């Protein structure tokens, strides 16, 4: 772990910041372990979904003591200010590296600059930020726009040539996952016979997915033919609302989601969902590898995109027994 630097000291080391990190060749003993232990502060979004639980588990497994890390974990309950405060606290603690899964895209410029000034590399995981690329070392994540486009292409192919009414449950407003999925999906259904009746955020949670779907059903009733949910959890919440309204999910209202966690895949295999685009949460191993390289001063790519697949009902039945999350 780095000693906390004074402002005067910071000015002096500013120009050689990255080199100095490289020379460190790993972290120090603070926080436990031997000389090679790397202390990492991980600012997670929260625990909003099954995807997030799988991602947290993957990260904790990869950033274990056995793998040479001392992990300081923080989950910000999806509150951007709390997440910024967590990053600031990691800087004050003088960690060797910060891993950030940013809740929202905007608002990171100041604190990322502070990390850079303190000679602490930041590695983004999962979502992206709008801040300058100079302020972080690398990003390990998913192509959210492609995920949305894959979902939209399936919808367009299956329902695009007959008048179809669609409602959308969006992820957290301002997150790259929600913004990019919306962009990709909209592009794919453009020019089809599909009408978007409504689109609202359900914050990636089951509870809000259910509440927002109840509102849609009250407003539009059986006019709704199709639901696109930006993640499985909101789709699973919507299932309850649809059943409570006396409708059959997967039949009366077709459902397309993103993630492919076990509960979502089970709903798909049982015919209650119709299509899922995967969002792979197992990013821990790659992120730990990148962090080690960055701390050792080795060069890394600016981004690593993890591949996703997609499943229909039959493919879900086949894949479910071997699903890891």
Question: Is the Cβ–Cβ distance between 232 and 260 less than 8 Å?
Answer: yes
Instruction: Report the residue from 44, 48, 75, 99 that binds ligand AHR according to the rule CB under 6 A.
Output: 48
For 256, which DSSP code? Answer: E
Pick from 194, 190, 187: nearest CA to 162: 194
Instruction: Report the residue from 259, 272, 278, 308 that binds ligand AHR according to the rule CB under 6 A.
Output: 259
Question: Is the Cβ–Cβ distance between 97 and 121 less than 8 Å?
Answer: yes
Instruction: Report the residue from 99, 188, 279, 288 that binds ligand AHR according to the rule CB under 6 A.
Output: 279
Binding segment for ligand AHR (CB under 6 A), chosen from 45-53, 62-70, 87-95, 239-247, is 45-53
- 71 phi and psi, to 5 degrees? -95, 125
Instruction: Report how many residues bind ligand AHR under the rule CB under 6 A.
Output: 13
Half-sphere exposure for 23 (CA within 13 Å, toward CB): 7
For the chain, report the end-to-end CA distance as a whole number of angstroms: 33
Binding segment for ligand AHR (CB under 6 A), chosen from 33-41, 43-51, 113-121, 182-190, is 43-51
How, if at all, do strands 254-259 and 275-278 pair?
A: parallel
| Minimum CB distance to ligand AHR smaller for 1 or for 188 | 188
Tell the smallest beta-carbon distance from residue 124 to ligand AHR (Å).
11
Question: Is the Cβ–Cβ distance between 315 and 261 less than 8 Å?
Answer: no
> Rule CB under 6 A: which of 51-80 touch ligand AHR?
51-52
How, if at all, do strands 310-312 and 275-278 pair?
A: antiparallel
Binding segment for ligand AHR (CB under 6 A), chosen from 46-54, 103-111, 186-194, 269-277, is 46-54
> Rule CB under 6 A: which of 132-191 touch ligand AHR?
177
Within 10 angstroms of residue 299's Cβ, the number of other Cβ atoms is 9
| Minimum CB distance to ligand AHR smaller for 166 or for 277 | 277
Pick from 165, 169, 157: nearest CA to 212: 169
Binding segment for ligand AHR (CB under 6 A), chosen from 49-57, 130-138, 206-214, 218-226, is 49-57
- 231 touches ligand AHR by CB under 6 A: yes
> Rule CB under 6 A: which of 100-129 touch ligand AHR?
126-127
| Minimum CB distance to ligand AHR smaller for 142 or for 156 | 142
Within 10 angstroms of residue 243's Cβ, the number of other Cβ atoms is 12
Instruction: Report the residue from 39, 49, 56, 105 that binds ligand AHR according to the rule CB under 6 A.
Output: 49
Alpha-carbon distances, residue 24 vs 122, 236, 300 (angstroms): 16, 47, 17
Q: Which residues would be at the binding site for ligand AHR (CB under 6 A)? A: 48-49, 51-52, 126-127, 177, 204, 231, 233, 258-259, 279
């Amino acid at each position: 772990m780095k000693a906390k630097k004074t402002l005067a000291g910071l000015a002096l080391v500013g120009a050689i910041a990255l080199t100095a990190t490289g020379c460190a060749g790993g972290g120090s003993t603070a926080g436990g372990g031997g000389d090679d232990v790397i202390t990492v502060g991980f600012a997670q979004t929260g625990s909003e979904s099954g995807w997030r639980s799988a991602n947290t588990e993957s990260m904790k497994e990869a950033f274990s003591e056995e793998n040479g890390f001392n992990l300081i974990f923080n989950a910000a309950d999806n509150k951007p200010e709390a997440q910024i405060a967590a990053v600031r606290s990691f800087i004050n603690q003088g960690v060797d590296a910060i891993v950030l899964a940013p809740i929202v895209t905007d608002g990171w410029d100041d604190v990322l600059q502070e990390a850079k000034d303190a000679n602490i590399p930041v590695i983004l995981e999962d979502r992206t930020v709008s801040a300058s690329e100079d302020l972080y070392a690398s990003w390990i994540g998913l192509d959210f726009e492609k995920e949305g486009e894959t979902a939209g292409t399936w919808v367009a192919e299956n329902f695009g040539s007959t008048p179809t009414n669609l409602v959308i449950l969006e992820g957290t407003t301002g997150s790259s996952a929600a913004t990019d999925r919306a962009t990709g999906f909209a592009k794919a259904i453009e020019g089809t016979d599909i009408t978007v009746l409504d689109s609202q955020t359900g914050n990636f949670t089951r509870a809000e997915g259910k509440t927002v779907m109840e509102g849609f059903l009250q407003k539009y009733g059986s006019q709704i033919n199709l639901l696109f949910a930006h993640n499985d959890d909101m789709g699973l919440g919507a299932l309850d609302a649809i059943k409570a309204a006396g409708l059959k999910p997967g039949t009366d209202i077709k459902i397309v989601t993103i993630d492919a966690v076990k509960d979502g895949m089970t709903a798909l295999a049982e015919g209650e969902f119709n299509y899922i685009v995967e969002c792979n949460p197992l990013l821990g191993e790659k992120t730990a590898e990148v962090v080690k390289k960055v701390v050792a001063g080795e060069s890394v790519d600016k981004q690593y995109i993890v591949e996703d697949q997609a499943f229909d009902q039959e493919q879900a039945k086949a894949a479910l027994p071997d699903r890891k999350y």
